[in-house]
Amino acid sequence: MTTDLKSSEAPIFLVGATATGKSALAMELARRTGAAILAMDAMQVYRGADIGTSKATKAERAEVPHGGLDLVDFAPAEGSKERFDVAQYLRHATEFLVEQRAAGRRVIIAGGTGLYFRALTRGLCEAPQGPEDLRAELNGLSVEELRERLGKVDPGMVERIDAANPRRLARAIEVMEATGKSLRAWQEETPEPLVREFAAYWVGREKGELEQRIEKRVEEMFAQGWVEEVRGLMERYGVETVKGFPGIGYREIGEALVESTGRLAPDTLKRVKGDILVATRQYAKRQLTWFAREPKLQKVMLTGSQPISMVLPSLL
């Protein structure tokens, strides 16, 4: 299904790196236009992972209809090794877009998951899954081992994907080894996208300001009770489940809680914050690289001294 909307009704994408201010911009735009917001974040779909994923608050969700949040449990279903994937996200996005269109609302799609943006606007690749034993083997390899293996079986894909993401690397290897056909070839045969008409803005900040905002956000997360959130998830789902969660910070905090028998000393907390800052900066860099390759994006630069209201007219 595609969303054939008039230009005045077509979705507005706000994309970019973490901590640039996409969510705040989306909220202000939604307040002024009566639009709904569809989160485009691969970690915000998990229930219970709230603080560490910068999920919209209950008050914000009560004020503006939100989609893309709390779609699945924090842990995979019993007996399943699969986490939420892009196909599931697209099914939810389809329902949300149809629902909001029926209600007469435009939709603002805001987030930094490049794969979701690409799937929404270019279509979802229908490459099949490989055999379970191959997938289990790949899941046991390190990022370095996966990158080396992909370089041998499909070298052209190494430069086309996030080569620091083990899930992306494993998927590319899996498709090539299971089908004998590169993931790139499967992607080129992708069917029609869900959203064909849209406006898309790349929300950016200067490097120094972005790094300051990332540091401030991490501090705010800890002040809001991120450690307690992780502790609660560990009690409910177990240490290994939390350590295996792909969201930045959950593994780091979980491991520190285990090592410290539940209470984080000041020096341990400082080390954990430092590790999370490094991981977040690296993630932001990968996001910037991804969106730099995307066509049809209009750049919108924000600064700390610039009221968001000054940017809004250019987005309407």
The answer to whether domain 126-190 has CATH 3.20.20.70 is no
Q: Which residue has better confidence, 214 or 125?
A: 214
pLDDT tops 60 at residue 2: no
Q: Looking at the DSSP assignment, which residues form a beta bridge with residue 110?
A: 14, 39
Helix (H) or strand (E) holding 274: helix 266-292
What's the pTM value of the predicted model, to 2 decimals?
A: 0.81
Cα separation, 22 vs 18, in Å, equals 8
Q: What is the DSSP string of 120-166?
A: HHH----PPP--HHHHHHHHTS-HHHHHHHHHHH-HHHHTTS-TT-H
Instruction: Tell me the average pLDDT across 202-207.
Output: 95
- The domains of the chain are located at 126-190, 207-283
* Residue 119 DSSP label: H
Position 313 confidence tier, pLDDT thresholds 50, 70, 90: low
Position 1 confidence tier, pLDDT thresholds 50, 70, 90: very low
pLDDT tops 70 at residue 81: no
Q: Which residue has better confidence, 311 or 5?
A: 311
Instruction: Tell me the average pLDDT across 243-272.
Output: 92
pLDDT tops 70 at residue 230: yes
Structure tokens at 17: 């790196």
Listed residue (298, 119, 105, 122) closest to 199, CA to CA = 298
pLDDT tops 70 at residue 225: yes
Position 3 confidence tier, pLDDT thresholds 50, 70, 90: very low
The mean of the pLDDT values for the chain is 89
Res 53: pLDDT: 97
Position 42 confidence tier, pLDDT thresholds 50, 70, 90: very high
- Determine whether 43 is exposed, middle or buried from the number of CB atoms within 10 Å of its CB (0-12, 13-18, 19+): buried
Torsion over CA: 99, 128, 144, 83 (sign): positive
Residue 110: φ, ψ to 5°: -125, 130
* Residue with the two structure tokens 């780091």: 252
- Fold match flag (126-190 vs 207-283): no
Instruction: Tell me the average pLDDT across 167-181.
Output: 90
Q: Strand, coil or helix: what is 224?
A: coil
Q: Which CATH number fits domain 207-283: 1.20.1250, 1.10.3470, 3.30.310, 1.10.287?
A: 1.10.287
Res 4: pLDDT: 40
Res 188: pLDDT: 79
pLDDT tops 80 at residue 5: no
- Rg over CA atoms, the chain: 20
pLDDT in tens, 16-27: 999 999 999 999
* Residue 312 DSSP label: G
Name which of 28-37, 79-88, 252-261 the model is least confident about. Answer: 79-88
- Among 231-235, 256-260, 299-303, top mean pLDDT goes to 231-235
Sheet-wide strand order for 199-204: 66-67, 36-39, 107-111, 12-15, 199-204, 298-301
Position 305 confidence tier, pLDDT thresholds 50, 70, 90: confident
pLDDT tops 50 at residue 6: no
Res 80: pLDDT: 56
pLDDT in tens, 123-172: 877 777 788 889 889 988 998 999 999 999 999 998 888 888 888 899 99
Res 82: pLDDT: 60
Q: Which residue has better confidence, 132 or 79?
A: 132
pLDDT tops 90 at residue 260: no
Instruction: Tell me the average pLDDT across 305-309.
Output: 68
Structure tokens at 109: 């799609």
